[in-house]
Every structure is written in C-alpha cells, then in structure tokens.
C-alpha cells in the first residue's frame, strides 16, 4: 500500500475540502425525497449524465489526455468547458493526472491503483485526498500553451456553476435537483468506475503491464470507456471498442463530428495491434510528446 493510501480515513474522506462533494450527495438525496420521484426528472438527470459523460470521454480523456484526434481551438475550448460542467476539476488537471496514471499504471507511483491501494482509494480516495490537489503543468505542456485552457483550469468550477444557474432559471428547483445534483453524483461515480472496477472485473484480452480489463457493462455505463484493457493496450486510439460488437458510443459520436468537419485525424488502433496479444510498443501507445515528463 502506498504512503498516500495510508492516510487516516478522515484525512482522506472527511477533510475540509470534501464538504462540497458530500454535500452534493446529500442535496441529491434530500432533493429527490422532497420533490418525489419523477419520470421527467429521471429523464433530465440521464440526459445531462449522457451529455456530460460524452464531454468527459471525448474531451477530458480521448482528446486532452491522449490527443486521439485533432480539432480547432474553438472546439477545443468547448470540449474543456463542457467537460468541466461535470465538476471533475479542470481539463489540464484531469489530463495531467491521467497521463501520469498511464505512465505508472499499477506501480507505486500510480495515482489510483486498485490492485495496490484497494477499491475505495482507486474509486474515490485519490480524488478526495489532499494529495490530489494541484496541476502539474509539465505533464500537459502541449495544452498549457493555450491561455483559455489555463484560465478554465484555474476557474474549474465556473462551467458547472453556469449550468446550475441556467437549469434553475429555465426549470426551477426541479431541474436543478434532477438535472444538476442527481446527474452530477451519478456522473461522478460512473466515471470513477473506470479507475476502480475496470481494473478489478472483466476480461483481459491483451497482456498489458497493468490490471486493466474489458467490461461490457461498464462500457455501456460510460459510453465506451469500459473497454479498458483495449485502451491500455493502445492508448492513443479514438475508438476503445476495437471490434464491431464492442459498443463505443463516444466513438460513434466522434465519427459524426468528423463527418461534419469539426474534428479530424481521428486515430484508430492498426489491425496488427487489434489482433495481437502482446503489449503495444510504448511509442505506438502514447505519442512521444505526451510520454515526456
């Protein structure tokens, strides 16, 4: 177990900085109890879950972390803004932590290793712990050259606040509770399952140096991210479902964006990688510019 996971339970999960996190859970639960169950509310929660999950998977993960496709500067900013409505901090923070995770997967330097530090640390503790604070810009030098991304990273909560205000103004408390609070809590834990459960349950198609697994249920829940062993096998691919039956909704939507010219140079794992068993060479898995640092 790493030193960071040896913090006391309260230091990790109940430090002063975690109050908003647990507050969201409380508001979501009490809000639903007060308003009562609503099919329209559930539909609103799921709609904003799906929309923001796409910005996380396509933006935070496949674009900012792995540069699996190219796009214009305005669309890049939209991806960052949309992803930050999820309240998972800034695009630069997210990409820096994720690139670090891939470089040190399941080693003592991994930020959220389920096999080394357990389920709760990999799912939640790494994020609520004080050790997660700060953005290492040396790991995202390719992104830090854009002032708008640095500004958004600094004002990490602003996009989410704007979304909450818009929902309250347009739909009242009902829209705020279901579309923002309930949706955000579901989104958090849906995203976190990739750090935890996808390294614990599923099939290992490729012999990677980590514990990543493919899990169809998590792939449905996270719009394609559950094909995690595929992803660790070849990290810079925009599609994580390598085979036709591996549902990857994020990739289908990316193809749509490419068809209308909003993104281009969409990377795919080459056939010899898809049909191989051994781990892909590091140079092929992670572009050199991202592996540095």
Average pLDDT over residues 25-45: 97
User: Is a pLDDT exceeding 90 seen at residue 281?
Assistant: no
- The pLDDT-based confidence of 143 (bands split at 50, 70, 90) is very high
Q: In this predicted structure, what is the pLDDT of residue 277?
A: 65
Least confident span in 9-23, 40-54, 204-218: 9-23
Query: 32 Cβ partners below 8 Å, 6+ apart?
Result: 41, 177, 178, 182
User: Is a pLDDT exceeding 60 seen at residue 131?
Assistant: yes
> Percentage of the chain surpassing pLDDT 70?
92
User: Is a pLDDT exceeding 90 seen at residue 13?
Assistant: no
Q: In this predicted structure, what is the pLDDT of residue 6?
A: 61
Mean pLDDT, the chain, rounded, equals: 91
CA quadruple 145, 93, 210, 187: dihedral sign: negative
Average pLDDT over residues 156-167: 98
User: Is a pLDDT exceeding 90 seen at residue 169?
Assistant: yes
Element (H or E) spanning 264, and its range? strand 263-264
Q: In this predicted structure, what is the pLDDT of residue 285?
A: 36
Pairing of strands 70-71, 263-264: antiparallel
Average pLDDT over residues 269-280: 78
User: Is a pLDDT exceeding 90 seen at residue 230?
Assistant: yes
Q: In this predicted structure, what is the pLDDT of residue 174?
A: 97
User: Structure pTM?
Assistant: 0.91
Q: In this predicted structure, what is the pLDDT of residue 15?
A: 84
- Specify the long-range contacts of residues 111-119, CB closer than 8 Å, at least 24 apart: 112/195, 112/196, 113/2, 113/199, 114/195, 114/196, 114/199, 114/200, 114/211, 115/199, 115/211, 116/1, 116/2, 116/5, 117/1, 117/2, 117/4, 117/5, 118/1, 118/5, 119/196, 119/197, 119/200
CB 130 within 8 A of CB 11: yes
**Cα 170 from Cα 173, distance rounded (Å):** 10
- The pLDDT-based confidence of 81 (bands split at 50, 70, 90) is very high
Q: Which residue has the tokens 């600094």?
A: 154
**Cα 177 from Cα 78, distance rounded (Å):** 24
Q: Which of 113, 90, 127, 94 is nearest to 15 (CA)?
A: 127
């Amino acid at each position: 177990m790493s030193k960071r996971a040896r913090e006391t339970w309260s230091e990790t999960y109940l430090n002063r900085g975690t109050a908003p996190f647990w507050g969201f859970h409380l508001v979501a639960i009490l809000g639903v109890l007060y308003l009562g169950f609503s099919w329209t509310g559930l539909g609103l929660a799921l709609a904003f879950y799906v929309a923001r999950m796409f910005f996380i998977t396509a933006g935070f993960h496949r674009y900012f972390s792995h540069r699996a496709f190219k796009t214009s500067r305005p669309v890049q900013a939209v991806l960052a803004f949309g992803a930050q409505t999820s309240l998972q901090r800034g695009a630069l923070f997210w990409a820096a932590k994720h690139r670090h995770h891939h470089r040190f997967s399941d080693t003592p330097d991994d930020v959220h290793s389920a096999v080394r530090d357990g389920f709760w640390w990999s799912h939640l503790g790494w994020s609520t712990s004080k050790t997660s604070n700060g953005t290492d810009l040396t790991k995202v030098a390719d992104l830090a050259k854009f002032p708008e991304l640095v500004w958004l990273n600094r004002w990490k909560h602003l996009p989410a606040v704007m979304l909450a205000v818009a929902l309250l103004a347009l739909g009242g408390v009902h829209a705020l509770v279901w579309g923002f609070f309930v949706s955000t809590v579901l989104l958090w834990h849906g995203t976190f399952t990739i750090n935890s459960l996808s390294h614990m349950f599923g099939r290992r198609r490729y012999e990677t140096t980590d514990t990543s697994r493919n899990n169809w249920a998590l792939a449905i829940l996270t719009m394609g991210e559950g094909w995690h062993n595929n992803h660790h096998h070849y990290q810079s691919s925009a599609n994580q479902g390598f085979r036709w039956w591996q549902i990857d909704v994020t990739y289908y939507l990316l193809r749509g964006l490419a068809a209308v010219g909003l993104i281009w140079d969409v990377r795919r794992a080459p056939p010899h990688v898809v049909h191989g068993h051994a781990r892909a060479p590091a140079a092929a898995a992670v572009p050199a510019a991202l592996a540095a640092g």
